[in-house]
Amino acid sequence: MRTEIAGPGHSSRAQRTFTLTGRLLDALHIDGPLLLSVLAVCAVGLIVLYSAAGEDVRIFLGQAARVGLGLGVLTIVAQIPPRVMRIGAPFLYGLGLLLLIAVALVGDVAMGAQRWLDLGFIRFQPSEIMKIAVPLCCAWYLHQRPLPPDFTTLVIVALIVLVPTLLIAEQPDLGTALLVTAGGGLVILLAGLQLRYILGLGAVIAAAIPVVWKFLLHDYQRQRVLTFLNPQNDPLGAGYHTIQSQIAIGSGGIFGKGFMNGSQAQLEFLPERSTDFIFAVIGEEWGLVGCIVLMALYLLVIGRGLYIATQAQDSFTRLTAGSLTLLFSVYAFVNSGMVAGLLPVVGVPLPLVSYGGTSLVTLMAGFGILMAVHSRRKLVST
């Protein structure tokens, strides 16, 4: 009875609200499902961070503000028409390259690496720009060529990827270099790189590993890989991170120790618990269930991103959207794999969850691009 009376009124009001919101989002070129799933991950991140940072309200609020800033960046980027992005891509890339060179020459040294550029009012890492600029530039270049790309095209794209990668690796920042390479590589893969090239590249990489190991990697990087292979070798030194994070995750069990009850995290056994190793806090305090929830939320983001990519109507937007989405999944997997002991320790934060503004803003900008792509597709195909 009551439902019959209340039902229609309620549903119509709800519908109106829904429609209103929908219209607002449309006007702002924002994709509702993607925004929701991204916000869900951010919310999980903030909850976990509150615990990981030892209930430090300042850190919590600071990160919440960064999420807000990220949303602002997302909204702004979403207003840029993809056409403008395509034209601007090489310029953004060039700017990033110049900044990277500037960092190499005059950058700030922090924690043994020269990554930061101090502009007086703000300190930032130009390598972050490259996480977006490289896929954009690759997509811009491939957009004009017939796909799958031919060999010459591949060489040029490879150069676009490798120049900033080497500059970043030299800082040294292996994690970001890896992500930049992955960003470019994903564009090439999505562009339809033939199987023989993939296999050939695999062979080249296999051959290059010893060379990279010997000449390109820094001591601490080599140590990380060695320690990954056998963490017990150096339980209080390089293997400490891995061992403690595995203890944290393992002791969480299926349901976890409960919010703010993770002894590994709360008692500071777990290093970098609010940044790179925050996944271990989730594993410890929320257990396997918490990990699965987070993975499911990531899957929502990735799924929506890939859907947007498949709906895109030209090579540039398709490749950009696809590669940025897959880059996001690489991000997530590399970090959680590293914390769970599947991969060696590289400085890659857990996307949208780890404490820190730089990667968050970059990711949000990426989602902004996805939304710009999605909201501007024409209803009829060309």
Partner 1 sequence: MTRNSRLKDHHAEQRMFGRRVVAASFVIMVLLGALFARLFYLQVVKYDYFSELSQGNRIRIEPIPPPRGLLLDRAGEPLALNRPAYQLELTREQTPDVDDTLARLVALGLLPAEDVVRTRRAIMARRAFDAVPVRLQLAEEELARFAVHRPDFPGVEIRPRLTRLYPHAGVGVHALGYVAAISEQDQERIDVSKYAGTTLIGKLGIERNYEELLHGETGYQQLLVNAQGRRVDRVGVTAPDLQRKEPIAGNDLYLTIDHRLQQVAETALGTQRAAVVAIDPRNGDVLAFVSTPTFDPNGFARGLTVPEYRALADNLDKPLIDRALRGVYPPGSTIKPFVALAALQYGVMAAEDTHYCRGVWQFPNSSRKFRDWKKQGHGTVDMHKAIAQSCDTYFYGVSDKIGIDRLHDFLVRFGFNGKTGIDVLGERSGLVPSQAWKKKAFKKKELQVWFPGETVIAGIGQGYMLTTPLQLAHATATLAMRGKGFQPRLVRAVRDSRTGAVATLPPHPLPDVKVDDPRHWDTIINGMIGVVNPGGTAVRVQAGAPYKVAGKTGTAQVFSIGQNEKYNESQVSERLRDHALFIAFAPVDDPKIAIAVLVENGRHGGSTAGPIARAVFDAYLLPREAAQAAVPTTPPAAPPAGGMDE
Residues 119-148 that bind partner 1 (CB under 8 A): 145-148
- Cβ proximity of 366 and 132 under 8 Å: yes
Task: Choose one: 8-16, 48-56, 202-210, 214-222; the region binding partner 1 (CB under 8 A).
Answer: 48-56
Q: Measured from the CB atom, is 26 or 268 closer to partner 1?
A: 268
| Least separation in angstroms between CB 309 and partner 1 | 6
Q: Which residue, 126 or 185, is less far from partner 1 as judged by CB?
A: 185
Give the C-alpha distances (Å, rounded to integers) separating 281 from 105, 240, 286: 38, 16, 8
Residue 165 or 336: the one with the smaller Cβ distance to partner 1 is 336
Exactly one of 37, 223, 227, 266 binds partner 1 (CB under 8 A); that residue is: 266
Helix/strand/coil percent split, the chain, to 5: 75, 5, 25
Distance (Å, whole) CA 239 – CA 217: 18
Lay out the site mask for partner 1 across 147-176 (x = CB under 8 A, - = otherwise): xx-x--------------------------
Q: Would you say 156 and 90 are in contact if contact means Cβ atoms under 8 Å apart?
A: no
**252 part of the interface to partner 1, by CB under 8 A:** yes
User: Contact between 292 and partner 1 (CB under 8 A)?
Assistant: yes
**Residue 88 lies near partner 1 (rule: CB under 8 A):** no
Q: Which two tokens stand for residue 101?
A: 């060179």
Return the residues of window 326-365 that contact partner 1 according to CB under 8 A. Answer: 326, 329, 333, 336-337, 340-342
Interface mask toward partner 1 for 3-42; x: CB under 8 A: ----------------------------------------
Q: How far apart are CA 153 and CA 159, in angstroms?
A: 10
Task: Report how many residues bind partner 1 under the rule CB under 8 A.
Answer: 58
CA dist 55 to 61, 129, 276, 302, Å?
A: 11, 32, 18, 31
Minimum Å gap between C-beta 127 and partner 1 is 24
Q: Which stretch binds partner 1 (CB under 8 A): 21-29, 59-67, 314-322, 349-357?
A: 314-322
Cα distances (Å, whole numbers) of residue 98 to 91, 128, 163, 193, 360: 11, 13, 11, 29, 23
| Residue with smaller CB distance to partner 1, 96 or 252 | 252
Q: Is the separation of the CB atoms in 275 and 356 below 8 Å?
A: yes
Q: Which of 25, 163, 251, 300 binds partner 1 (CB under 8 A)?
A: 251
Least distance (Å) between residue 134 CB and partner 1: 18
Q: Find out whether the peptide bond into 149 is cis, omega within 30 degrees of 0.
A: no
| Residue whose CB is less far from partner 1, 40 or 186 | 186
Contact of 245 with 280, CB cutoff 8 Å: yes
Verify binding: residue 107, partner 1, rule CB under 8 A.
no
Residues 67-73: contacts with CB under 8 Å, at least 24 apart: 67/42, 67/360, 69/357, 69/361, 70/42, 70/357, 70/360, 70/361, 70/363, 70/364, 71/364, 73/361, 73/364, 73/365, 73/368
For the record, the structure tokens of 28 come out as: 């702002």
145 or 376: CB nearest partner 1: 145
Q: Determine which helix (DSSP H) or strand (DSSP E) holds 260, and give its type and residue range.
A: none
Residue from 123, 225, 302, 377 in contact with partner 1 (CB under 8 A): 302
Q: Which stretch binds partner 1 (CB under 8 A): 5-13, 14-22, 172-180, 307-315?
A: 307-315
Alpha carbon distance 210, 191 (integer Å): 29
Q: Which residues bind partner 1 (CB under 8 A)?
A: 51, 54-55, 145-148, 150, 186, 189-190, 192, 244, 246-254, 258, 260-261, 263-264, 266-269, 271, 283-284, 287-288, 291-292, 295, 299, 302, 306, 309-310, 314-315, 318-319, 322, 326, 329, 333, 336-337, 340-342, 382
